[in-house]
Amino acid sequence: MRDDLIFTIGRQYGSGGREVGELLAKELGIPFYDKELLLEAAKDSDYTEEIMDSFDEKPVRTLLYSVAMGGVNGWGAQEMPISVKAFLAQLQTIQRLAEENRSCVFVGRCADYALREKKNVVNAFISADEEVRISRIMEYDNVKEDKARSIMHKIDKTRAGYYNYYTEQDWGAAGNYHLTVNSALIGTQGCVDVIKEFASHVE
């Protein structure tokens, strides 16, 4: 396997995508970035970690408003809201870290879009059957089934809105990634193995 690959992991909530990213980074001995990106982005900008966190993977207003404004590209520099500036700060941080690290793993936060011009990137999306995700959420968040189901749908909707707004692509659509893997079928370790096997064929 090449030693200069950057990995991005998109994920449905409750699919174990973050765990996949952590395991992948650990097995390859490379840096892992998830919430850590908020700290890095806050350092790189004039915003506090709390401000970055308040906009983390959350969409800007409604889809109708997004269309009317022409997405991110519709904003002028002076009228750009803090939410968009926070996103751009995080985007620049992802790009900087990808340059500073020969290889690393990013989870979420439109990292695949941020690094779309780079050739040494492997983009994966982790999904899972709803019932498996609900069981994982019940255990992880210590909530009952109905609450877990509600959390799952809410967070997926929020992540999709965030991704779709800023990238003008469809979150989770197979065509946006090099591979999509169902963790309910092969487990998180199986997902890591599949990603590593795929990466071993990248020239």
Measure the CA–CA gap between 148 and 131, rounded to whole angstroms.
10
Label residue 197 by pLDDT band (50, 70, 90): very high
Take residue 34 and report the two structure tokens written for it. 């998830």
pLDDT tens per residue across span 4-47? 999 999 999 999 999 999 999 999 999 999 877 666 766 766 66
What's the whole-model pTM score? 0.83
pLDDT of 86 = 76
Q: Phi, psi (5° rounding) for residue 186? A: -125, 0
Q: How does pLDDT run across 95-105, given as a tens digit for each residue?
A: 999 999 999 99
Secondary structure of residue 179 in the 3-state scheme: strand
Q: What is the pLDDT of residues 72-88, one digit of tens each?
A: 444 444 556 677 777 88
Q: What is the pLDDT of residue 79?
A: 57
Domains with residue ranges and CATH for the chain: 6-197 (3.40.50.300)
Q: How many CA atoms lie within 13 A of 74 on its CB side?
A: 12
Q: What percent of the chain has pLDDT over 70?
A: 78
Helix spans in 55-181 (H): 63-69, 82-100, 111-114, 130-141, 145-167
